[in-house]
Amino acid sequence: MSALKGLSGSLAGFPGFALRRLVGAVVTLFAISVIIYLVFYVAPGDVAQITCGPRCSPAQVHQVAEQLRLDDPLYVRYWHFLQGVFVGQDYSTGTSVQHCGAPCLGVSYQSGQQVTQLIWAKLPVTFSLVLGAMVLWLILGVGTGVLSAWRRGRFTERALTAVTLAGTATPVFVIGLVLMIVVCGQLQLLPFPQYVPFTEDPEQWAWNLLLPWLSLALIESAKYARLTRSSMLETLAEDHVRTFRAYGVGERSIIGRHALRGAVAPVIALSANDFGSAIGGAVLSETLFGLPGLGRELVHAVTVVDLPVVVGMVLVTGFFVVLANAVADVLFAVADRRVVLS
Amino acid sequence: MSEALVASQAPGTDSSVPGASGARQFWRRLRAQRAALVAAGVVALLVLIALAAPLLTAIEGQDPTTYHPSLVDSARGGVPVGPLGGIGGDHWLGVEPQTGRDLFARLVYGARVSLGVALAATLVQVLIGIVVGVAAGLGNRWVDQLLSRATDVIVAMPLMIMSLALLAIVPSSFPRPVLVALIIGLVAWGSIAKIVRAHTLTLKELDYVAAARLSGWGAWRVARRELLPALAAPVITYAALLVPTNITVEAALSFLGVGVKPPTPSWGQMLTAADIWYQAAPQYLLLPAGALFVTVLALTVLGDGVRTALDPRAASRLRIGTGRRREAKA
Amino acid sequence: MSPAEADDGVLRAVGDGVLPAARNGVLPAARNGVLRAVGDDVPGAVGDGRGAGGDGLAETGDGSGPAAPGGGSLVEVTDLSVAFGDLRAVDGLSFRLERGAALGLVGESGSGKSTVASALLALHRGTGARVGGAVRVAGVDVQAASDDELRRLRGGKAAMVFQDPLSSLDPYHAVGDQIAEVYRVHTRASRRAARARAVEVLDRVGIPDAARRARSRPHEFSGGMRQRTLIAMALACRPDLLIADEPTTALDVTVQAQILDLLHTLREETGMGLLLVTHDVGVAAESVDEILVMRHGRAVEHGPVGTVLGAPRDTYTRELLGAVPRVDAPRVAEGDVGDETVLEAVGLRREFGTGKRRFAAVDDVSLTVRRGETLGVVGESGSGKTTLGRMLVGLLEPTAGTVRHEGREQTGVSPSVQMVFQDPVSSLNPRRSVGESIADPLRARGERDEGRIEGRVRELLERVGLDPDHYDRYPHEFSGGQRQRVGIARALAAEPRAIVCDEPVSALDVTTQAQVVALLGELQRELGLALVFVAHDLAVVRQVSDRVAVMRRGRIVEYGPVDEVYESPRDPYTEQLLAAVPALDPEVAARRRAARGEPATA
């Protein structure tokens, strides 16, 4: 794509900017962990009882209280929690003692499983879902946006605008539900989604995920189409486009080289951001399509009030969002270096 | 200087005229957009339906919570008795599978929940956003740093996940719709705070704000008289786009079973079980889905219209409110 | 004016080196064209608007013939009108420009001059503007041309240089690539050849180390270099005509001089014609052979530059020229300067940024302003003059040093020192009536009696030359000059001893500018105000100031009585600034240019 040309070149002041942004991300993460810790472990009510779960015996609750060091001051408790994250800690569940390795986010007292391992096992599902959908929605969205900016003021644009508007207005669980009923149920074109690991059978993996990808992509691409179109139209109204028109540069060049280039930075930034929020937002599509990812695990944990799992999930998704935001900022700066200079 | 900036700024079209005529201008530009006008009508109708829900159900003679076991066929798993899911004179839109509750009543009461929760959440977001944004924009470097960092943290919180988690730990005795509105409001005020801060920073550099300070007024009076009115346009624009988002979030949470809990009806919640029944009672799926779609679409179109009407640049680009509607194209 | 005089004017201009190239025979067409315009159509060409129209009509005959390259005029505009909705931006304008000649379109804002420039390349096509009349550029009938023909004309035969060099270049692409792209559109050259051509033209317009700088993006260039880049783009395809739309308006005066000199040299070398659109009569005097003065979309006067500027016939032209401040005219109205010091700055310093980016915008500035005195503060962009002004009124805290009002140290704002701002749009709250804005200082002082407030505001409105009944009107209902008057009234409402004027007239047309300057002078004499007049325009500063401070990079480099500084500057920077101011007299302009040397190749 010729619009991407010009991303290279001198990057004066850039490493410093990237570093500052990264430090900012770490600070944000730290703040998030504090807030989450405060919200969930210092909440009113019997924390030990909530953490342990409704079916715990008084003895077990007592043990949990000890594990969480409920008698210690707040900062000691938080420090203990952080220690677990960075160096790991031991958990005693009734009779046996298990060691929870370095990024330790605690142990589920209801299933006896370590939260980190639980998340680790579910991550591939969520990643498969989000990454595949993202590729689709970028192609669909940017393509639609370019087309409607190019055919602006004509029927094509009005039609595309109407379609994308409908897309932004449809909740993902509505379109997913309808697609599943029509495509899988009545037409039987695709199987009802089931997760098949990529390592096991790549073809089945893709075939099964196609419907979830499509549903997510249809909704998300609408946003990208609108963004692409509006940034391109904004660029088209700028003075430098007038310059190139006044120099006889053709419409195709103006759209493909100049207007599209203006949309690159915002699209990159939005996709990095969306990657983060899609990891979090996968809750809906996973529940709907019955995919055993992070989101569905979280819904389960919320319904049975499995606090350590909930907290772990929130932290991990928060981690991805913060990371994605930082990457988004850096990528934006790469695409539009005026940001670094100002 | 250059009278004809060729593409867009032909004289007379750039009538960025705020002030006394601002409201009139806003209406004129909004009226010039047919889609926005239709959307405004739909939204008005929806609000009316939500407000008049008790009246409407009274006319029908039903209520949203009464079970009608006689109307469902328990032998076939609770499929509504009668054609088309039990549509008839008594139950205008049929009944819910399994329970036999009146669908029309649940739908119109669902509108109350959807709109009410979304509006309340938006109000919370806007209030926090304005306070934090203005304080960050006007405060000294440290206040700004602190509040901006806090905003970053809030923006980084995944909305769905945080709401889910928070809803898990709050005791169920707390009134659910209020809780959902509060949580959405408390978790998702980051972007509006950022927007308000950015506008405040721009506005406070404007000469007329400096002139007001030179007049001898204190900082508070300058902020109230010169800054806040100018913030209205961006805030209204953004709030108008937040409402449909909040409707979707509420529906999603209820769909997941952690939002509004039964027996309170909610569109998202109605969809939870709809996929099992789509063959026997298609309207059980289509009604809440359609209601959600129409509501969010109307609110989005209206939000877009409001934005265009408040943004003189966009308005002049689209030739709106100038008598010429053709988009600029050279 | 008799034909003989007109003729003489042109000949004198040619003879004295305005167009040395023409004299040397490099530009025979230019000479021919100018002479014919004067000789053949004297009553029309040098006459009023009606005459100019007739002139154009008379010439339609030979313009409509088959346009062989090299034959016919370069530009023929016949009865051109351009309307946007109800507004007629250009109304029945006719003129012609011969090959190699230079024509200046001069007018105030709203005169339609830029619209004419756009119409030459049919840039209005598809925007909804209604264009009437005939336009021929380099043999192409612009109105009738197909899109392909137009594309070949644009950039290939006629190239345009725009006002704002930053926004006129694509921020995302290297400047060399942008020029190469334009070159390839017109020549089908290879990528490599286009790159080479880009470097060649960049080098030609004086970009140092062009091969390397061609890879830079526009934001890495200074304003002057960006404008050079735009000119390089224009040169790339060797056009016959260069259309320059306010090419130096966004630039500092020293950079402006360099760009004008560059345009001049390029014209000498390439023999291309120039159509210069400008609001600045001085800029036109520096650069063109003929001037066409526009007002309300019509030509009011058209003729050789020496004649129009030296002996204008139209009343509007005379008014316009009379309003242009002269940098070489001594100050006429001496104010009644008292002895008491009203406003004083001692060792003022202001830093911005942190860490490595820390820099001092104002560095150790001390000055005093006495009762009834005007202190001019002049400097180019980035000199720190605006920062200094804001510290004087207390809007900005100094990093070091003190501000004293009547001997007392002052921190923060005080009613006794007020400000008049540059931008008449942003200096008034659009949501409040002008009366309310002016009443602010009264209310802030604790005045509660509404009747008294309104009375005083009406008095002030009248004092600054506005209708007191406009109390309830909103800022958008006023013109730029009127808004500036409202700003002055608001400053006066605080009953100040001193007013700092930050570029108070730079956003205004020259005739309005003169009125506002006159108003400030009147008020000063009447109220014994101390004025600090911050501006970049050396001529305006000379016109109004008793003493002047020349600023550069945050420091005062020269400080003294205004006539002394302007007549015999001691600092080389002041000298350089004064030498760069465009002269109204083409003769002087040519001499100055010779004195400046050839910066384009330096």
* Segment B131-178, tens digit of pLDDT: 999 999 988 889 998 998 889 888 877 788 888 878 777 777 788 889
Tell me, yes or no, whether A136 lies in a domain. Answer: yes
C302 pLDDT more than 90: yes
CA distances from A306 to A51, A97, A113, A244, A302 (A): 7, 20, 11, 61, 6
Against chain A, the chains showing at least 3 CB pairs within 8 Å are B, C
User: A165 and A37 in one domain?
Assistant: no
Q: Which domain holds residue C442?
A: 432-495
User: C547 and C473 in one domain?
Assistant: no
User: C313 and C247 in one domain?
Assistant: yes
Cβ C114–B323 below 8 Å, yes or no? no
Tell me, yes or no, whether A28 lies in a domain. Answer: yes
User: C459 and C385 in one domain?
Assistant: no
Length of chain C measured in residues: 602
Nearest CA in chain B to A157: B327
From chain C, pick out residues whose CB is under 8 angstroms from the CB of B3.
Answer: 89, 109-115
User: A268 and A185 in one domain?
Assistant: yes
Question: What was the pLDDT predicted at C102?
Answer: 94
Confidence bin at C343 (pLDDT 50/70/90)? very high
Tell me, yes or no, whether C595 lies in a domain. Answer: no
Residues 6+ apart with CB under 8 A from C452: none
Confidence bin at C1 (pLDDT 50/70/90)? very low
Residue A209: alpha-carbon gap to chain centroid:
17
Copy the structure tokens of residue C237. 């395809």
CA distance A305 to chain B (A): 6
pLDDT digits (tens, 9 = 90+) for A96-146: 667 777 778 878 877 778 888 888 888 899 999 999 999 999 999 999 999
User: A205 and A120 in one domain?
Assistant: yes
CATH code of residue C542? 3.40.50.300
Nearest CA in chain A to B160: A281
Residues 6+ apart with CB under 8 A from B106: B64, B96, B265, B270
CA distances from C502 to A284, C530, C581 (A): 58, 14, 20
A19 pLDDT more than 80: yes
Mean pLDDT of A67-89: 78
What letter does residue C240 receive in the DSSP assignment?
S
From chain A, pick out residues whose CB is under 8 angstroms from the CB of B34.
Answer: none
Confidence bin at C439 (pLDDT 50/70/90)? very high
From chain A, pick out residues whose CB is under 8 angstroms from the CB of B248.
Answer: 171
User: A274 and A170 in one domain?
Assistant: yes
Tell me, yes or no, whether C57 lies in a domain. Answer: yes
Tell me, yes or no, whether A308 lies in a domain. Answer: no
User: A27 and A6 in one domain?
Assistant: yes
Q: Is C154 in CB contact (< 8 Å) with chain B?
A: no
Residue with tokens 């209204």: B236
C66 pLDDT more than 60: no
Q: Which domain holds residue A131?
A: 116-303
User: A137 and A81 in one domain?
Assistant: no
Mean pLDDT of B187-201: 91
Q: Is C156 in CB contact (< 8 Å) with chain A?
A: yes
Cβ C170–A249 below 8 Å, yes or no? no
Mean pLDDT of C152-159: 92
Confidence bin at A323 (pLDDT 50/70/90)? confident
Tell me, yes or no, whether A231 lies in a domain. Answer: yes
Confidence bin at A3 (pLDDT 50/70/90)? very low
pLDDT digits (tens, 9 = 90+) for A270-281: 888 788 778 877
User: A230 and A87 in one domain?
Assistant: no
Copy the structure tokens of residue C124. 């209005």
Cβ B1–C279 below 8 Å, yes or no? yes
Instruction: Name the residue with higher pLDDT: C206 or B325.
Output: C206
What is the C-alpha to C-alpha distance for residues C222 and C231, in angstroms, rounded to an integer? 14
Tell me, yes or no, whether C255 lies in a domain. Answer: yes
Cβ A240–C230 below 8 Å, yes or no? no
User: A231 and A106 in one domain?
Assistant: no
Optimal mutation site among C137, C170, C231, interface A, most CBs of chain A within 10 A: C170
The domain tally of chain A equals: 2
What is the C-alpha to C-alpha distance for residues C246 and C163, in angstroms, rounded to an integer? 5
C572 pLDDT more than 90: yes
Question: What was the pLDDT predicted at C327?
Answer: 85
Tell me, yes or no, whether C233 lies in a domain. Answer: yes
User: A75 and A135 in one domain?
Assistant: no
- Would you put residue C425 in left (φ > 0), alpha (ψ -120 to 50) or beta? alpha
Tell me, yes or no, whether C2 lies in a domain. Answer: no
B11 pLDDT more than 50: no
Nearest CA in chain C to A244: C182
Against chain C, the chains showing at least 3 CB pairs within 8 Å are A, B
Tell me, yes or no, whether A325 lies in a domain. Answer: no
Confidence bin at B22 (pLDDT 50/70/90)? low
Confidence bin at A40 (pLDDT 50/70/90)? confident
Mean pLDDT of C496-501: 95
Question: What was the pLDDT predicted at C376?
Answer: 95
Q: In chain C, what percentage of residues exceed pLDDT 90?
A: 59
User: Exposure pattern of A7-31 as b/e (b: 16+ CB <10 Å)?
Assistant: beeeeeeeeebbeebeebbeebbeb
Residue with tokens 């003189």: B312
Tell me, yes or no, whether C585 lies in a domain. Answer: no
Instruction: Name the residue with higher pLDDT: B41 or C27.
Output: B41
User: C272 and C410 in one domain?
Assistant: no
Find out whether C29 and C102 touch, Cβ atoms under 8 Å.
no
Q: Is A248 in CB contact (< 8 Å) with chain C?
A: yes
Cβ C127–B19 below 8 Å, yes or no? no
Confidence bin at C29 (pLDDT 50/70/90)? very low
Tell me, yes or no, whether A67 lies in a domain. Answer: yes
pLDDT digits (tens, 9 = 90+) for B274-327: 767 777 777 788 888 899 999 999 998 998 888 888 876 665 555 444 333 333
Predicted TM-score (pTM) of this structure: 0.80
Question: What was the pLDDT predicted at C365?
Answer: 95
User: C378 and C527 in one domain?
Assistant: yes
From chain A, pick out residues whose CB is under 8 angstroms from the CB of B1.
Answer: none
User: C336 and C317 in one domain?
Assistant: no
User: C396 and C306 in one domain?
Assistant: no
CA distances from C97 to C72, C92, C156, C264 (A): 10, 17, 18, 17
User: C489 and C352 in one domain?
Assistant: no
Domain boundary among the residues A55, A79, A110 is at: A110
User: A76 and A34 in one domain?
Assistant: yes
Beta-bridge partner residues of C346 = C402
Mean pLDDT of B1-5: 32
User: C182 and C119 in one domain?
Assistant: yes
Highest mean pLDDT among A84-93, C26-35, C257-266: C257-266
Question: What was the pLDDT predicted at A339?
Answer: 56
From chain B, pick out residues whose CB is under 8 angstroms from the CB of A241.
Answer: 7
User: C449 and C381 in one domain?
Assistant: no
Q: Which of A21-30, B158-167, B180-189, C398-407 has the lowest mean pLDDT?
A: B158-167
Q: How many CA atoms lie within 13 A of C553 on its CB side?
A: 2
Question: What was the pLDDT predicted at C61?
Answer: 35
Domain boundary among the residues C495, C511, C534 is at: C495
3-state secondary structure (DSSP) of residue B86: coil
User: A141 and A35 in one domain?
Assistant: no
Q: Taking the C-alpha atoms of B259, B260, B262 and B263 in order, what is their torsion angle to the nearest 10 degrees?
A: 180
C26 pLDDT more than 60: no
CB atoms within 10 A of CB A160: 20
User: C154 and C117 in one domain?
Assistant: yes
Cβ C413–B329 below 8 Å, yes or no? no
Cβ B11–C124 below 8 Å, yes or no? no
User: C520 and C505 in one domain?
Assistant: yes
Tell me, yes or no, whether C250 lies in a domain. Answer: yes
Tell me, yes or no, whether A318 lies in a domain. Answer: no
Cβ A28–B300 below 8 Å, yes or no? no
What letter does residue C467 receive in the DSSP assignment?
-
C18 pLDDT more than 60: no
Cβ C173–A257 below 8 Å, yes or no? yes
CA distance C420 to chain A (A): 29
The domain tally of chain C equals: 3
Mean pLDDT of chain A: 81
User: A138 and A17 in one domain?
Assistant: no
CATH code of residue A181? 1.10.3720.10
In chain A the first and final C-alpha atoms are separated, in Å, by: 28
Tell me, yes or no, whether C383 lies in a domain. Answer: yes
pLDDT digits (tens, 9 = 90+) for C364-397: 999 999 999 999 999 998 899 999 999 999 999 9
C277 pLDDT more than 80: yes
CA distance B203 to chain C (A): 10
Question: What was the pLDDT predicted at C177?
Answer: 94
Domain boundary among the residues C266, C296, C326 is at: C326
Domain boundary among the residues C466, C495, C524 is at: C495
Question: What was the pLDDT predicted at A167?
Answer: 86
Question: What was the pLDDT predicted at A45?
Answer: 61
pLDDT digits (tens, 9 = 90+) for C130-155: 999 999 999 899 989 998 999 999 99
Question: What was the pLDDT predicted at B315?
Answer: 57
pLDDT digits (tens, 9 = 90+) for B103-122: 888 889 999 999 999 999 99
Q: Is B209 in CB contact (< 8 Å) with chain A?
A: no
